Amino acid sequence: MTVLVVGSVALDSVETPFGKADDVLGGSGTFFSSSASHFVPVQLVGVVGSDYPVEKLQPLAARGVDLAGLERAEGESFRWRGRYRHDLNSAETLETRLGVFSHFKPKIPAQFRNAPFVFLANIDPRLQLEVLKQVERPKLVACDTMNFWIESRRSDLLELLGKVDLITLNDGEARQLTEQSNLIKAAKWILARGPKHVIIKKGEHGAFMFTKDTVFFAPAYPLENIFDPTGAGDSFAGGFIGYLARTGDLSEANLRRAVIYGSAMGSFAVEGFSTSRLLEITADDINRRVQEFARLVAFDASIGT
Amino acid sequence: MTVLVVGSVALDSVETPFGKADDVLGGSGTFFSSSASHFVPVQLVGVVGSDYPVEKLQPLAARGVDLAGLERAEGESFRWRGRYRHDLNSAETLETRLGVFSHFKPKIPAQFRNAPFVFLANIDPRLQLEVLKQVERPKLVACDTMNFWIESRRSDLLELLGKVDLITLNDGEARQLTEQSNLIKAAKWILARGPKHVIIKKGEHGAFMFTKDTVFFAPAYPLENIFDPTGAGDSFAGGFIGYLARTGDLSEANLRRAVIYGSAMGSFAVEGFSTSRLLEITADDINRRVQEFARLVAFDASIGT
């Protein structure tokens, strides 16, 4: 089954303790698509400026990412410049130039409107709501968000919560949105406002998936070298939704597996700058890493004291 | 099999967002013993001052903690006063009065010297080394340490590493000791210096157990209310070593189970002030929580993409 994603397509310039990369593929829509395309065909809706080196998106198109919904607008592309310090835990934003992204009005092409899986990547909640008006009752709608929208578009975000099946957000955002420092309480707060599933991402500390009755925890894959943390969250989402769309199974057991596939894709994303690693791995690499996740947490609880 | 623990026996005064407790049972030896006594008989070696309300230790004695090695010295007992802010992640030490603990010279009673399992709780590495001279080739020796000793007793600590089978320390301490920000690299650094197992505790983010060839990760149990984080690490160690001593099995599979029992005990410790919760739980409570850990991380990786 196909996945429709609406998000940013940007040019990133990133500096980490391991090196630098200038004007490389970036943006939530780009990372999500690169990741999800390992599982299913992806339809990407976004905008780039007239300066965007669209040939750089060829590897995505070659992987089955349909770029028919990628608008080219007059003006500059969205550019983000950031730096990671030694601990690699949080990006320091040096510059954000929204360019044409600041006037982005997502238009879903007619042939994308019946996509069964929809991911509303981190954009203005008002635009996320606009997208939902243009699509035809998907099997699953998931969204992401960020601190900026939680602050500036709270009521729109709350309206959106009532219309999505699942939300992914990081621990800091969950605390900010819910004003609950405890993540279980934060998840309950969100679940009470609409979504049936809440995924709280804790970066290098793994991710929780909450439903009304269950909690699932997936560790982050322990890597000895992390080259560039940019896009890990969107790559997680791409693996998660991509796996669900491929299997078409929304059972709790399959959602748990999807979280592991998402975690695996997040772990690949940070092994190279930009989307480089995501675009070189194979299905075997992914399945092998999923098995490593299984070994990482495996214990036999059947022998009591 | 019996566990010998050498550590501090203190009086804690703790303030958290949920309340206060004054002059309650504290110290690494106390938490370890309270936890390990759910699995095996424990021999506690430590020192208290002439002011210590020893009757408060009766519940430990009643649970099978042998206090024959608890010295009573002239002077004040070790007192720690601390506060946890809203996020409960790190204690703010308001006052530390070492009292008689500053002159502590552990003397292992003759009847404790052949204990098969030995835990050297967080005390001066020189004293930890002294203890090892007094015991007869245990089946397993584990130690803990802290930032203060890493700074002030580095060479003694390195000597100790060559003489223990296992070390538990938290992520910050592991980074400080090894000067490696990456925890896998930190673990390798430590493994190269003696211990066959390294457990790196990440508090609310769980714990890693590393060997030369394997990595195991156990999440922290997600609790909605954490009353008092004091002693979680020592309670973890008590559950871990206690389970190993009870089963007498040092296989990788059993060490993994022991980490989960340790994590379970750590999760109980923080559900009440001081040792209160540890001293009221039953074997059923513990086994139930271990099963909940299993459900928390369970997924079936057998279905590939």
Dihedral sign (CA A193, A194, A197, A201): negative
Distance from the Cα of B51 to chain A's closest Cα (Å) equals 37
Q: What global pTM score does this model have?
A: 0.95
Decide which of A301 and B294 is more confident.
B294
Residue B247 CA neighbour count, 13 Å, CB half: 19
B31-73 per-position pLDDT tens digit = 999 999 999 999 999 999 999 999 999 999 999 999 999 999 9
Residue at A256 is within a domain: yes
Q: Using an 8 Å Cβ cutoff, are A158 and A169 in contact? A: no
Question: Does the structure show a pLDDT above 70 at B304?
Answer: no
CA distance A68 to B36: 63
Cβ separation A256–B182 shorter than 8 A = no
pLDDT score recorded for residue B88: 74
Minimal-distance CA residue of chain B relative to A203: B205
Measured in whole angstroms, the distance separating CA A3 from the mean position of its chain's CA atoms is 13
Residue B6 has pLDDT above 70, yes or no: yes
Q: Are strands A91-97 and A78-84 parallel, antiparallel or unpaired?
A: antiparallel
Answer yes or no: do B291 and A298 touch at CB < 8 A: no
Q: Are B50 and B74 in contact (CB under 8 A)?
A: yes
> What residues of B are in contact with residue A253 (Cβ under 8 Å)?
299-300
Residue A244's CATH number: 3.40.1190.20
Q: Which residues contact B139 (CB under 8 A, 6 or more apart)?
A: B1, B116, B117, B248, B250
Examine residue A305 and state whether it is found in any structural domain, yes or no.
Answer: no
Residue A21 forms beta bridges with which residues?
A: A14
The C-alpha of A264 sits at a distance from chain B's nearest C-alpha, in angstroms, of: 12
Residues linked to residue A247 through DSSP beta bridges, in sequence order: none
pLDDT (0 to 100) of residue B17: 84
Number of domains in chain A: 1
List strands edge to edge, sheet with A78-84. A19-26, A10-16, A78-84, A91-97
The one-letter amino acid code at A134 reads Q
Q: Which residue of A297, A300, A302, A303 to mutate against B (max B Cβ within 10 Å)?
A: A297
Helix (H, G, I), strand (E, B) or coil at B300: coil
**CA distances in angstroms from A150 to A96, A147, A159, A178, B36, listed in the order given:** 18, 5, 12, 10, 45
- pLDDT at B303 (0 to 100): 62
Query: If DSSP codes are grouped into helix, strand and coil, which group holds residue A141?
Result: strand
Q: How close, in Å, is residue B183 to chain A by CA atoms?
A: 8
Pairing of β A207-210 and β A215-218: antiparallel
Contact between B206 and A219 using a beta-carbon 8 Å cutoff: yes
Query: How far is Cα B291 from Cα A299, in angstroms, rounded to an integer?
Result: 11
For residue A304, the model assigns a pLDDT of 54
User: A170-224 pLDDT, tens per residue?
Assistant: 999 999 999 999 999 999 999 999 999 999 999 999 999 999 999 999 999 999 9
Instruction: Report the candidate in B8, B7, B10 with the shortest Cα–Cα distance to residue B77.
Output: B10
Residue A99 lies in a domain: yes
Phi-psi label, residue A19: left if phi above 0, alpha if psi -120 to 50, beta otherwise: left
- Please give the pLDDT value at position B89: 72
The length of chain A is 305
Give the strand pairing for A117-120 and A140-144: parallel
**Does A140 reside within a domain?**
yes
Give A263 to chain B, closest Cα distance, Å: 13
Nearest CA in chain A to B246: A305
Contact A290 B301 (CB under 8 A): yes
Note whether residue A303 is domain-resident: no
Q: How many CA atoms lie within 13 A of A107 on its CB side?
A: 10
Q: Which residues of A touch B172 (CB under 8 A)?
A: none
> pLDDT for B98-116, tens place per residue?
999 999 999 999 999 999 9
Q: What is the ipTM of this complex?
A: 0.93
What are the backbone angles phi and psi of residue A304, rounded to the nearest 5°? -85, 180
Q: Among partner residues A202, A216, A243, which is closest to B305 by beta-carbon distance?
A: A243
Q: Tokens 């973890």 identify what position?
A: B236
Say what the pLDDT of residue B86 is.
Answer: 73
How many Cβ atoms sit within 10 Å of the Cβ of residue A184? 16
Instruction: Give the residue ranges of chain A where pLDDT is below 50.
Output: none
Q: Nearest to residue A143, comparing CAs of A197, A97, A65, A86?
A: A197
A304 within domain boundaries: no
Residue A106 carries which side chain, given as an amino acid letter? P
User: Is there a domain that residue B233 lies in?
Assistant: yes
Q: Does the beta-carbon distance from B205 to A208 stay under 8 Å?
A: no
For residue B171, being part of any structural domain is answered with yes
Range of the structural domain that residue B120 is part of? 3-297
